[in-house]
Chains A and B, each alone.
Chain A
């Protein structure tokens, strides 16, 4: 796979925006800690969901479980391994989540579709239960909420919103590039072959067992790293409740709305799901001056998501990423 000139230009543009323009222009901590940081963390988890669902076609629902595994793995590694570099701890957390991914991917060898979705729910409940049940994971903290350690890289601690944002941009950039390489290369092709027609894929020499478990493992790796970042930079605390089934569904919606089978869809979907409630709130506050009750606004949010998912499923299964492509093509033609 070769990168085209366009790919390079897009990459440079994104890097300039995220490393120069945003740090220089955005001064308020709110934007970093409430929007950019969670967006990038959840986009990373969406890439994980995208790999297993959009590319390998395995309906899995348990991203938040793997995120919890990654978050608590990272906490324990930093707590128990003296002087472990942050990035090493992060990578190891991803690998630990990947091991869970393989374990909970096993049902995919027997069941598919909606049944697999139910089977993978086990990961969601088991991992969160396990962390809750055994005090060791929480270092026998009785309060239930543990404060995350500071991120220390090469002796410097990254604690301000901007600093944490830069750490995340680095991790997300590297992992996204790797994901794009896999998706465009032979690895991604094998996933898609299994998704589109498994029996033919097998007849061409693709091992279903290896390919499916590989997708589950890599997906869980991404979710694990995302979970660790999510806990350390956004929540700044570790509590199993934060990684409940609602978060799994949120990530699922991000992937569906963003566009199944595209890496960019993970980012677009995450942005939409995250920003839409903010937008609704500010409309509620600024246009209706608080005349609409906050509970109604959050209900409207649910309704809109539901309707949008139905609309996208029917008219544009490839999601917003595809819409965006269509718009771009139209402008190019003119």
Chain B
């Protein structure tokens, strides 16, 4: 990606240092380290069970790593929960879709605006000026996102009734609505066909280009990964195997071995 970027890649925004996570005797992540640079699109790849999703869950505060540290904007994230991480400016999507199934597309995306809406329940109950104003403003923002993702026609449909590909889009929309600085996308294109994948890539690149959001994505489709990411980190058995630009990763013998399944000695 040689062309001029509106938001050039900068210094590390998120650093993962020697993180280890285990569940009882099962080691999900062992001493993994890498960093994510401001405004970049970073892919995390690796075979099944390599600890990719666990890594996102650590960053997101769902899991607490037993060892190591995660540093976001020069601040050590310790004793965190997903709620706190959201407030710090990291948002995410989930591997197996975690949408609010009985709520409409618009309402789902409006939840993404949660941290931009401060009216308390009394103000909402009495529909004070503040509550009304913020509702209108945030609805407008969500309409923009809906238009951007080209899902106008389904905005009032309950999400549970939508096909899988559209649900993935809604989830991206919800994450975008947070206006977080860092988006963690857990397999945003899993189960999509080529056409849908291409569309999703377009959205991801466009957001990164226009707003400068830093993206961390887990993806299995190597074609997609090599195409859209600035840097790729490879995890295998919970360890960082390689970290670098796609061209380097493609030529890395360790990575090739991990994917082809060479016996570990």
CB of A205 within 8 A of CB of B87, answer yes
Partner of A203, one of B60, B101, B103, B110: B60
Beta-carbon contact of B102 and A261 below 8 Å = yes
- Please tell me if A236 contacts chain B, counting CB pairs below 8 Å: no
User: B112 an interface residue at 8 Å Cβ cutoff?
Assistant: yes
Contacts of B132 in A (CB 8 A): 1
With A and B bound together, what is the CA distance between A39 and B127 in angstroms? 27
Decide if B86 touches A196 in the complex (CB within 8 Å): no
Complex: chain A residue closest to B60, CB-CB? A203
- B149: Cβ under 8 A from any A Cβ: no
Majority-rule SS of A interface residues: helix
Within 8 A of B (CB), among A214-241: 214, 218
A135 to B134, CA, bound (A): 49
* Min C-beta distance of A175 to chain B, whole Å: 9
Q: In whole angstroms, how far apart are the Cα atoms of A202 and B90 in the complex?
A: 12
**Binding-face segment, B77-85, B204-212, B218-226, B237-245:** B77-85
Does A190 belong to the interface (CB within 8 Å)? yes
A189 lies within 8 A of B86 (CB): no
Minimum CB–CB distance from A161 to chain B (whole Å) comes to: 30
Give the distance in Å from the alpha carbon of A214 to the alpha carbon of B103 in the complex.
Answer: 20
Shortest beta-carbon distance from A83 to chain B in Å: 27
In the bound complex, what is the Cα–Cα distance between A200 and B121 (angstroms)? 21
> Is the interface on chain A under 10, 10 to 19, 20 to 34, or 35 or more residues?
20 to 34
Interface: A106 (CB within 8 A)? no
B100→A193 contact, CB < 8 A: yes
Q: Is A310 an interface residue (CB 8 A)?
A: no
Is A178 a contact of B101 with CB atoms below 8 Å? no
Stretch at the interface among B32-40, B67-75, B91-99: B91-99
A312 to B223, CA, bound (A): 49
Query: How far in angstroms is the closest Cβ of chain A from B201?
Result: 23
Shortest CB–CB separation between residue A135 and chain B, in angstroms?
A: 36
Given A181-B126, A186-B117: A203 in contact with B102 (beta carbons within 8 A): no
CB–CB A193/B111 < 8 A: yes
Chain A nearest Cβ from B26, distance in angstroms: 21
B125 touches A187 (CB 8 A): yes
Shortest CB distance B262–A (Å): 37
Q: Is the CB of B114 within 8 A of A185?
A: no
B112 to chain A minimum Cβ distance, whole angstroms, is 6
In the complex the two chains form, is A207's CB within 8 Å of B83's CB? yes
Whether A182 touches B124, Cβ cut-off 8 Å, given contacts A193-B100, A199-B98, is yes
Alpha-carbon distance between A201 and B82 when the two chains are bound, in angstroms: 9
- Chain B residues within 8 Å of A71, by CB: none
Residues of B within 8 A of A193 (CB): 100, 103, 111, 114
Taking CB atoms, residues of chain A closer than 8 Å to B85 are 203
Q: Which of B86, B102, B121, B178 interacts with A187 by CB under 8 Å?
A: B121
Q: Identify which of A179, A181, A197, A214 contacts B98 (C-beta below 8 A).
A: A197
Q: Which residues of A contact B100 (CB under 8 A)?
A: 192-193, 195-197, 200-201
Residues in B with CB closer than 8 Å to A197 are: 98-101
B178's nearest neighbour on chain A, judged by CB, is A204
15 contacts between A and B (CB under 8 A): A1-B135, A181-B124, A185-B131, A186-B117, A186-B131, A186-B135, A189-B111, A195-B100, A195-B102, A199-B82, A200-B94, A200-B99, A204-B91, A205-B115, A261-B102
Query: Closest 7 A-B residue pairs measured CB to CB?
Result: A200-B98, A205-B86, A196-B100, A185-B124, A205-B115, A178-B125, A202-B82
Given contacts A187-B124, A195-B100, 16 further A-B contacts (CB under 8 A): A1-B127, A1-B135, A182-B124, A186-B134, A186-B135, A189-B111, A192-B102, A192-B103, A193-B103, A193-B111, A196-B102, A197-B99, A197-B100, A202-B83, A203-B60, A203-B98
